[in-house]
Structure 1
C-alpha cells in the first residue's frame, strides 16, 4: 500500500512539473545542510518536486531558528559564531512583531533597528518577548473553516491555551512602512483598484506556543523553550488593567511563508513538534520515548474532540480553565517529505538537539506562478483533499478542508489587492484623530452605563477588554470562503 502511494504521488508530482511557463529551469538544491543561510528560490527541474521544495523548507527552518546576534542593530541577523543547537533567541524572534507595526492610533512604527514602540503588556520596550495583542484575546485563536466561526482556540493536556505569535522580516516590514504605502494605516491598505505587492524575500512567521507550567518538567528538554510575558485574563479582570506574567513557553508549531522571485505567490512551509499528537503513519511516536502527547491523552476516542470546536476566545467568551482537547492528525504526511525529515534528523548538527524533534508537515507552492496579480493564485500544488498542509496546532479543525492555504489567502487577501498577506486588514488601524473620536464615543457609553447599569445594548462598554473588529472587505471575503465549505 505504501509503495503504491509513493508511486502515485511521484507520478502526479512529475505531471505537475511539466508545462511550467513562469519559472526558469535551473539546478535545484536537494541536499540537506545545516547553515545559517536559507536557499533563495526553487527553480523548475525534472522529476518529483517534493525534495526541492521540502529542502527549501528545511533550510529556511534552520536559518530562521539559528541563534541570533543581540541588540536592535542586529535584528534578523544570525550569530555565525554559534551552532544551531546553541542557546539564545532565534533569528526570527528578532523580526518585527505584529504589535510593533500595528498599534492603536496608527503611529508610525519605529525603525527596523529599534525596539521602541507600544507593547500590549506595557513592557519598557519590545525586546521583551510578549505573547499578547492590543485586542487582548487575538493570540488565543487560530483560523478556522468551520461554518459561522472565524477562529477557535487549542488547549493542551494541562488545560493551557496555545498562544500564537506572528513576526515578519525586514523586507516585509519595509514594504508596509514604505512612505508610498504606509499600510499600517487602515485608509492606505491596498485595494483591487490599487493593489500592493510585497518585496521579494519577504518572510512571515507564525508560531504556536505551549504555555508551560511546573508540571511540565520532564518534557522541557525536547522543545525549544523561551520566556515571554503572557497576557493573564483573570488577573486583568480582577485588577481592571492589563496584567501579563512571565512564563516559559515551548514551541509546538511553526509556519514559514516566503515570497521569492520565481514564486511570487510565496512558498508555504509548515513544521510542528513530533510530540503534538499520535502518529498517523511512520512519523515518530512520543510513546516510544516515553513522553506524553501535548494535545492528546493517548487514550480513546481516536477522533478530534470536543466537536464542535470550542468557540473563539473573546471578551464575551473567556478561557475555560477546565477544558482539554483530544487532537489527531487527520491526513498522513507525504512519504517523500518524511524522508526529508529523516535526512535532516540524522545530520550531525541536528541530531541530539531539540530541532531533531521538529518535522516538516508539508510545503505548498505555486506550480505555474505566471505574472503576479489579483486574479492569479499561481495554481497551487498540492491542492484540495490531496493537500496535507494541515498543522495540528494551527489548522486543528480544518485538516480535511477542500481549500488549501494558498487558495484561502488568494480569496481573502490577494484578490483584494493585498498580495497574500491577510493580517494587515485585521491589524491596520485608524490614525489618532479617528481613534480619539472613538475613545470619546466610548467614554460617553461608559458614562451612560454608570448612569444606568441596566441600559440595554451597552454591555460591551463595561469590559476592560473591549475592542472592535472593523467591517473590512477581507472579513466579508473570509465569511464567503467559510460558507462555501
Structure 2
C-alpha cells in the first residue's frame, strides 16, 4: 500500500489490490452516478471530506444522462462515465428556460417547451449558448447585480461563453414561488430559501476551430447553437451557428441540509493556463494552453481587462487573445485528491482525467440560516481562496471568495446566495412580448414598430433590442 500525504493527521491510501480508500469518514474516491449528499464535521483536515464531495458531484453530474424528457436530469445507469452523450447537468433547466422576457411562466420540469434565445428553429432540448439580453453568455460575473464584468478571449481568438443550469429542486423552488417574476422575489425582510439538494451549475465553454483538431480529444466536447452577433447584424435576424465547444470551466453549487449556505466547488481543464505550483502542465503533453501563448509576457494585468460586451461594446470579429496565468497555486491536499481520481479505472485514459478541482469552499457556521449569516466560509482570506481562471480571470488577487461575494450581492437581499435570479427576473407587461423576444426579431427595419409597451424600458431586454436595431 502506498500513502500520499494530505496534511497533518490525514492521508490517502492507494491499495494495489483493493482500489482506493481514504482514511476518515466518506472520503473514498469512487466513480458513481450517485453523488454524496452532504459533509459532516469530522476530525483531522477537512479538505479530503469536502474535496471528495466535490469530485463525487463532478462525476455524478457529468455522467451520461437519460435523454427522454420524462427522465430529465437523471443518469443512465447502463452507461459509464466514458460513454458519449449529453451529461446529466446538460439536461437540467437552463436559465433562459425559466427567466424569459416578460416573466412568462416557464414550462414544467418534464418539458422542453418555451422560447429559446436563438429563435423558434432551436428547441430547448439543444444546447444554446446565448441569452435573451445583456450578452450574459459573453461576460463573467461582477460584484454587482446591476452589471456584468469582462469577457475572456481564448488563444484561438474566440470569446469564452458561459452557461447556467439548475436541477429540479432549485427549479421547483423558483417555479412554485414564482420567483421568475421580479415583483415576487424574496427580500431581506422576507427572505427565501431553496430546497435542500438544490444544485446550480455554471459552465465555461471554449469554441473550437479547425486549428483545435489536435487537442479536441483532450476535452469534453459538446455541440451547441452559439449566438453569432456579426452574422446576426449582417442577416438582419438572429443567427445561432451550431459549433463544437470544449468544456474549460465548471462551477458546482449544492445546498445541503448540514450546509444551507451551500457547498461551492470549482473545476477547470488542466490545459487552460501554465501551472502555478504542482498542477499539470500542458507543455508536458505537447499541447498549447487555451488562454496563454506560452511566450512572454506571461502575466495578465488584472487592471486592464477587456470591457464588458454590451450594446455599446459589441463583440469583435478578431479580438486579441488574453495572456492568463494562475495567481495562486492549488492546495496540495486538493491536488492529491485530483491525482487519486485521475488514477481511478474509468477516469484514467478518458477526457475526465484532464479536469482538476481548483477548490472547495463551505460554511463552518451554518446556523441560523438567514440574510445576516455568511456561514463563516472556509477557506477564506487572501492566499487561501482560489479563483477559476475561466470565470474569475481578472479578480484572482485580493478577491472575495465565492461565498463572500454571493453573500454580499444576494444572500443579504434574501435571495439565498443565488445571484443570477435577480439579474434575469422581469415583471410581466400588460401586452404580448412576442415582438421583443429573440424569436420575433426578423429585421433591423424599425420604421413600423408597434406602440411602446412596459417591456421596452426593462433593462433585461433593452441591451439586445438596442443591439439588434443599430444601423
Q: Given the two structures, how large is their TM-score scaled by the length of structure 2?
A: 0.87
Aligned counterpart, 1:227 = 223
2:350 is aligned with 1:353? yes
Aligned counterpart, 1:249 = 245
1:156 to 154, 157, 161: 154
5+ residue gaps, structure 1? 14-26, 440-445, 450-458, 468-485
Q: Distance in 1 between matches of 2:147 and 2:170?
A: 29
Secondary structure, aligned partner of 2:251: strand
2:414 is aligned with 1:412? no
> Does structure 2 retain, via aligned residues, the 8 Å contact 1:315–1:466?
no
Q: Distance in 1 between matches of 2:240 and 2:400?
A: 37
Q: Distance in 1 between matches of 2:142 and 2:419?
A: 14
Between 1:375-384 and 1:303-312, the stretch displaced more is 303-312
CA 1:240–1:401: 2 relative to 1, 3 Å:
farther
1:102 Cα deviation from its structure 2 partner = 0.4
Aligned counterpart, 2:304 = 308
Q: Distance in 2 between matches of 1:427 and 1:462?
A: 16
1:111 to 108, 112, 117: 108
1:318 to 311, 314, 319: 314
Q: Distance in 1 between matches of 2:113 and 2:434?
A: 26
> Does structure 2 retain, via aligned residues, the 8 Å contact 1:67–1:84?
yes
1:438 Cα deviation from its structure 2 partner = 11
1:232 Cα deviation from its structure 2 partner = 0.3
2:25 to 20, 24, 28: 28
1:373 to 357, 370, 373: 370
Q: CA RMSD in A?
A: 2.6
1:28 Cα deviation from its structure 2 partner = 2.8
Aligned counterpart, 2:172 = 174
Secondary structure, aligned partner of 2:137: helix
Q: More helix by proportion, 1 or 2?
A: 1
Aligned counterpart, 2:19 = none
1:6 Cα deviation from its structure 2 partner = 7.8
> Does structure 2 retain, via aligned residues, the 8 Å contact 1:332–1:388?
no
> Does structure 2 retain, via aligned residues, the 8 Å contact 1:105–1:432?
yes
> Does structure 1 retain, via aligned residues, the 8 Å contact 2:292–2:298?
no
Summarize deviations over 1:324-349 as a string: whole Å, max 9, x none.
11000000100000000000000011
Q: Distance in 2 between matches of 1:69 and 1:343?
A: 28
Q: Distance in 1 between matches of 2:170 and 2:322?
A: 35
2:460 is aligned with 1:463? no
Summarize deviations over 1:340-385 as a string: whole Å, max 9, x none.
0000000011000000000000000001111100100110001120
> Does structure 1 retain, via aligned residues, the 8 Å contact 2:256–2:262?
yes
Q: Distance in 2 between matches of 1:79 and 1:372?
A: 35
> Does structure 1 retain, via aligned residues, the 8 Å contact 2:132–2:464?
no
2:381 is aligned with 1:384? yes
> Does structure 2 retain, via aligned residues, the 8 Å contact 1:204–1:256?
yes
Between 1:317-326 and 1:219-228, the stretch displaced more is 317-326
Q: Distance in 2 between matches of 1:251 and 1:349?
A: 19
Alignment of 1:411-430 (within 5 A): 411-430=408-427
Aligned counterpart, 1:394 = 391
Q: Distance in 2 between matches of 1:425 and 1:165?
A: 16
> Does structure 2 retain, via aligned residues, the 8 Å contact 1:143–1:150?
yes
Aligned counterpart, 1:280 = 276
Alignment of 1:36-47 (within 5 A): 36-47=33-44
> Does structure 2 retain, via aligned residues, the 8 Å contact 1:136–1:465?
no
Q: Distance in 2 between matches of 1:466 and 1:136?
A: 15
CA 1:325–1:65: 2 relative to 1, 3 Å:
same
Question: How many residue pairs end up in the alignment?
Answer: 431
1:214 to 210, 217, 230: 210
5+ residue gaps, structure 2? 11-23, 437-445, 450-461
Q: Distance in 1 between matches of 2:463 and 2:122?
A: 29
1:436 Cα deviation from its structure 2 partner = 5.4
Aligned counterpart, 1:72 = 69
> Does structure 2 retain, via aligned residues, the 8 Å contact 1:95–1:170?
yes
1:306 Cα deviation from its structure 2 partner = 7.6
Q: Distance in 1 between matches of 2:38 and 2:385?
A: 22
Q: Distance in 2 between matches of 1:447 and 1:39?
A: 57
Summarize deviations over 1:151-198 as a string: whole Å, max 9, x none.
1000000100000000000000000001xx100011101111211100
Summarize deviations over 1:23-51 as a string: whole Å, max 9, x none.
xxxx7311100000000000000110000
Q: Distance in 2 between matches of 1:204 and 1:192?
A: 22
CA 1:462–1:436: 2 relative to 1, 3 Å:
closer
Q: Distance in 2 between matches of 1:185 and 1:144?
A: 22
CA 1:290–1:120: 2 relative to 1, 3 Å:
same
